[in-house]
Structure 1
Amino acid sequence: MTQQHWWLNAAAKLSESAQQQAQTRQNQLTKPQGSLGRLESIAIHLATMQNKLKPQIQQPHMLVFAGDHGIVAQGVSAFPQSVTIAMLTNFVKGGAAVATLCKQQQIELSVINCGTATACEHLTNIIHRPIMPGTHDFSQQAAMSAEQTLLALTLGKEQVERVASNACDFLMLGEMGIGNTSAASCLSALLLTEDVSTLTGAGTGLEGAALAHKQKVLTTSVARAAPLVNTALHALEQVGGLEIAAITGAYIRASQLGIPCFVDGFITTAAALLAVRLNPGVRAWLLFSHHSAELGHSALLTALDAQPLLNLGMRLGEGSGAAVAYAIVQQALTIHNNMATFTEAAVENKT
């Protein structure tokens, strides 16, 4: 693997033969063909990824990356920045939504500190890899230097390699960081060449004048950054976040190692789009869990030609939507792997 530009290395290949075999099996199961809809295509897609007629998920893992954002100084969030650190503790103590879902479904959960505004290395059961004490205020300057951006990308890569060494076969990524919907909105605007105000939603619950202020700040931020952006990496440097960069790197490395990734909501989908812009082969290894209620998510899904499984009006983030939809993935595999064929059940198939 080329180390200097590792994110450009090819993604693993999908198995066309496994896809054909899985489709044939679906056609032989005791049901009208196509009658289980998306449940059938999920199973076939995972068979293609795992190169197995009967795919299974035995070691799912949720990686939650956390980082702070300097843009919070401009009053774009309803919550103070201290909440980021408080939530790190909540994750590892099992009190956060994603933690409860992971525990119930036996999904291993790792929480990674990419860089909080206040040092928190005293917190236990967290992987501390801070790159900087939160990003800079990107309304005034670049969020990160080129070096810091690459360090954050590589952090995501390293975490995927860590869980891959423990036989992880299905990856979900979450995020935590007050202000990160602002970063995701600006990043999306630059990648999609769209008006950032059309991609800026409530985030932590802003309404009315507060939301209008957020949109104004982000419009100014994109206007500052746009002349400096010539590549997708430049966009990440200018308006991204440490956790968004790490998630981007994680998607890329997972695709290179042949690990399916279940994309969560708005922020992780912004990272997914960035990953695909950096390495188009990543797209084949992404599954999409739910349609976030956050305003900009639809545009990102359209750009990625993605059809998420659920639309529950969720906008919490932290990987919660992926953890909810994971149960559907497992049900799809249960049907595909265990349902009887017409021959096995001695049921007459259609002529």
Structure 2
Amino acid sequence: MIKELQHKIDLKTKPLGSLGLLESVALQIGTVQNSLTPCLKNPSIVVFAGDHGIAVEGVSAYPQEVTFQMVMNFLNKGAAINVFSNQHQIDIKIVDAGVKFNFEAHKDLIDAKIGNGTKNFLFEKAMSTCEMEKCFKLADDIVTQLNSTGCNIIGFGEMGIGNTSAAALIMSSICNLPLEICTGKGTVVSDERLAKKIETLKKCQLFHGSISDATEILQTYGGFEIAQICGAMLAAYKKNMLIMVDGFISTAAYLVASKMIPEIKSHAIFCHLSDEAGHKHLLNYLEAEPLINLKMRLGEGTGCAIAYPLIESAVKFLNEMASFESAGVSTKNIQ
């Protein structure tokens, strides 16, 4: 199928390779779907929210209650992810993976609460083995439900004060990179606070020592939302869905998933390069090429929503663009 797809791409009315990354994405999607005429159905973005025990150590400039306040903003359709998803007709669901707040029932809110935030990993593991396994189970259920509606492409966003700290520790531990490279400002606004953030995270690493197993690293430092994104990505891969990978936090979740099932990369489309400091190094480690770079670092799945029309364009040109033969256009002279 790969040879047939590449042949179809090459015979479109354009110079070879002139559509750049769109050609790579078209080839990838056709290969995943094993089709010369692939399609995107019911695109969805799921935003997982959770609180982090490490937030009490002052690693963020924002107070912890911003997590639940932003979830309310999502539900009221006032956030950036709502605007962009609505613009591109992408279904959006919000998941309470572990927010320190009790929400009333809402048609767009999925209750997958593990607890009122993770534990403070400065002193203990963020979650128990049982809690992490429950994250994976609930995430699998969410993806299974979406897939049952016909959805075959899914993106993952997140919200959680303190989650750039969790992602930095996951990245540092798995990639064996110093925290100074992995840690960015997140919601931290000053260099002084960034230095304090790095110092705090180094203490966490020292406390837990060297950990090599990716799932144990996730259990030690991850948030409930990060664990559920990881589990959801694995579930999407098993159901042969396309996976839109957002920014730094979602890529950290993907990093763990890729250590569990390396083949997941065949289904992953890296939507954008986040302006969060560690993301470019993480993408380099993964040998992943993002579709766009708009210097965004908002999270929420906004990179997925912004990049989706480009992914759609890759499918459109493959299916609808004329070939040299059908258009009666001469091909390049053979030298």
Same fold (TM over 0.5): yes
1:288 is aligned to 2:270:
yes
Deviations 1:292-350 (A, max 9, x none): 11111122112211000111111101100111111111112222211111111111112
Give the 3-state SS of the residue equivalent to 1:333 in structure 2. helix
**Superposition map of 1:1-351 within 5 A:** 17=1, 19-121=2-104, 125-227=108-210, 229-350=211-332, 351=334
Give the 3-state SS of the residue equivalent to 1:275 in structure 2. helix
Letter in 2 for 1:285: H
Root mean square deviation of aligned Cα: 1.2
Q: CA separation in 1, counterparts of 2:18 and 2:267?
A: 25
Cα drift, residue 197 of structure 1: 2.4
Letter in 1 for 2:237: S
Letter in 2 for 1:307: E
Cα drift, residue 20 of structure 1: 1.8
Letter in 1 for 2:312: Q
Q: CA separation in 2, counterparts of 1:55 and 1:68?
A: 38
Q: CA separation in 2, counterparts of 1:104 and 1:124?
A: 20
Q: CA separation in 2, counterparts of 1:32 and 1:283?
A: 28
Letter in 2 for 1:143: A
Q: CA separation in 2, counterparts of 1:198 and 1:339?
A: 43
Q: CA separation in 1, counterparts of 2:172 and 2:189?
A: 19
Mark the runs of 5 or more structure 1 residues left unpaired by the alignment: 1-16
Q: CA separation in 1, counterparts of 2:20 and 2:106?
A: 45
Q: CA separation in 1, counterparts of 2:41 and 2:219?
A: 36
Deviations 1:111-156 (A, max 9, x none): 0001112222455631112111100111111100111111112222
Q: CA separation in 1, counterparts of 2:297 and 2:311?
A: 20
Q: Under a length normalisation based on structure 1, what TM-score does the superposition of the two structures give? A: 0.92
Give the 3-state SS of the residue equivalent to 1:114 in structure 2. strand
Q: CA separation in 2, counterparts of 1:265 and 1:121?
A: 29
Cα drift, residue 230 of structure 1: 4.1
Contact 2:126 2:221 in 1 (8 A): yes
Contact 2:174 2:212 in 1 (8 A): no
Letter in 2 for 1:189: S
Contact 2:233 2:254 in 1 (8 A): yes
Q: CA separation in 2, counterparts of 1:74 and 1:256?
A: 38
Q: CA separation in 2, counterparts of 1:184 and 1:209?
A: 20
Contact 2:167 2:252 in 1 (8 A): yes
Contact 1:153 1:248 in 2 (8 A): yes
Give the 3-state SS of the residue equivalent to 1:183 in structure 2. helix
Cα drift, residue 71 of structure 1: 0.4
Mark the runs of 5 or more structure 2 residues left unpaired by the alignment: none
Q: CA separation in 1, counterparts of 2:43 and 2:108?
A: 19
Q: CA separation in 2, counterparts of 1:304 and 1:156?
A: 23
Q: CA separation in 1, counterparts of 2:144 and 2:174?
A: 27
Contact 1:262 1:289 in 2 (8 A): yes
Contact 2:47 2:156 in 1 (8 A): yes
Letter in 2 for 1:108: D
Letter in 2 for 1:345: A
Contact 2:54 2:120 in 1 (8 A): yes
